[in-house]
């Protein structure tokens, strides 16, 4: 990260930001300053938008009322997910240092401390009724990715989640969301206790095809 003038956004190589913006789930209690959050949200508004409609809304959540909904919803989501993947309700053994065990520990930390996350941002989009809901959501996810990369440049840790769905009705009531709006994702954000680091992804050639479905794209 390079030096920047006071009050301006820090800079980081774009590819480095993308390569190291892994999900972080342990946050320090320090608040996220409004000016930092505003820079990340401004980056979200720079995302492509169909017909430039910008039919999105970003809801910053800090209230006790929102936390009272999100904590239980997140724990219900964890119970559902761990059952699907056959994970025990008990934490991994202290001497288990496998990748899965480390991931589970960070998940459990977030589950147990979700009400303490410094700030949450809901990424929402409006329904027009002219096209499918899937298509209408096509602009909100690039906006969220812009936010995640801007947060990485600021040094923030983030983790997106859809587990708000386990308390969505209550959450919509708390924030007064109109019926013609939908929530695409919830992002938890804060100053991380851990470090940013490289993401682990499959090689390009295993997930990309050239012209036909079964013809791998293998760049020279």
Which neighbouring-strand residues pair with 189? Answer: 119, 158
CB 26 within 8 A of CB 194: yes
Q: What tokens were used for 159?
A: 């983790």
Neighbour count for residue 177 (Cβ, 10 Å) = 17
pLDDT digits (tens, 9 = 90+) for 169-182: 999 999 999 999 99
Q: How far apart, in whole angstroms, are the C-alpha atoms of residue 100 and residue 87?
A: 10
Q: How far apart, in whole angstroms, are the C-alpha atoms of residue 56 and residue 125?
A: 4
Q: How far apart, in whole angstroms, are the C-alpha atoms of residue 76 and residue 56?
A: 27
* CA quadruple 152, 154, 158, 160: dihedral sign: negative
pLDDT digits (tens, 9 = 90+) for 49-108: 988 999 999 999 999 999 999 999 999 999 998 888 777 777 777 777 777 778 788 888
Q: How far apart, in whole angstroms, are the C-alpha atoms of residue 124 and residue 181?
A: 7
pLDDT digits (tens, 9 = 90+) for 136-165: 788 999 999 999 999 999 999 999 999 999
Q: What tokens were used for 52?
A: 């430039």
Give the pLDDT mean for 6-35: 90
Kindly tell me if the per-residue pLDDT of 121 is higher than 50. Answer: yes
pTM over 0.85: yes
Q: How far apart, in whole angstroms, are the C-alpha atoms of residue 187 and residue 156?
A: 12
Distances (CA, A) of 177 to 92, 103, 158, 174: 39, 33, 24, 8
CATH superfamily of 14-207: NADH Oxidase (3.40.109.10)
> What is the reported pLDDT for 3?
39
> What is the reported pLDDT for 104?
80
- Percentage of the residues of the chain whose pLDDT score is greater than 90: 70
Q: How far apart, in whole angstroms, are the C-alpha atoms of residue 204 and residue 77?
A: 31
Kindly tell me if the per-residue pLDDT of 5 is higher than 50. Answer: no
Pairing of strands 157-161, 56-61: unpaired
């Amino acid at each position: 990260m390079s030096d920047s003038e006071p009050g301006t956004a820090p800079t980081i190589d774009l590819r480095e930001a993308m390569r190291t913006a892994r999900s972080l789930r342990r946050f320090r209690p320090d608040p996220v300053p409004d000016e930092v959050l505003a820079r990340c949200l401004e980056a979200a508004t720079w995302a492509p938008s169909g017909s430039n409609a910008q039919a999105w809304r970003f809801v910053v959540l800090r209230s006790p009322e929102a936390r009272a909904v999100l904590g239980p919803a997140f724990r219900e989501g964890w119970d559902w997910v761990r059952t699907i993947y056959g994970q025990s309700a008990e934490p991994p053994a202290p001497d288990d240092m496998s990748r899965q065990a480390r991931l589970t520990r960070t998940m459990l930390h977030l589950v147990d401390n979700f009400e303490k996350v410094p700030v949450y941002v809901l990424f929402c989009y409006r329904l027009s009724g002219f096209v499918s809901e899937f298509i209408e959501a096509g602009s909100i996810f690039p906006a969220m990715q812009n936010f995640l990369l801007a947060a990485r440049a600021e040094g923030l840790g983030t983790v997106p989640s859809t587990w708000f769905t386990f308390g969505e009705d209550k959450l919509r009531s708390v924030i007064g969301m109109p019926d013609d709006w939908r929530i695409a994702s919830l992002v938890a954000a804060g100053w991380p206790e851990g470090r940013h680091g490289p993401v682990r992804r499959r090689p390009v050639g295993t997930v990309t095809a050239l012209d036909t479905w079964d013809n791998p794209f293998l760049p020279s």
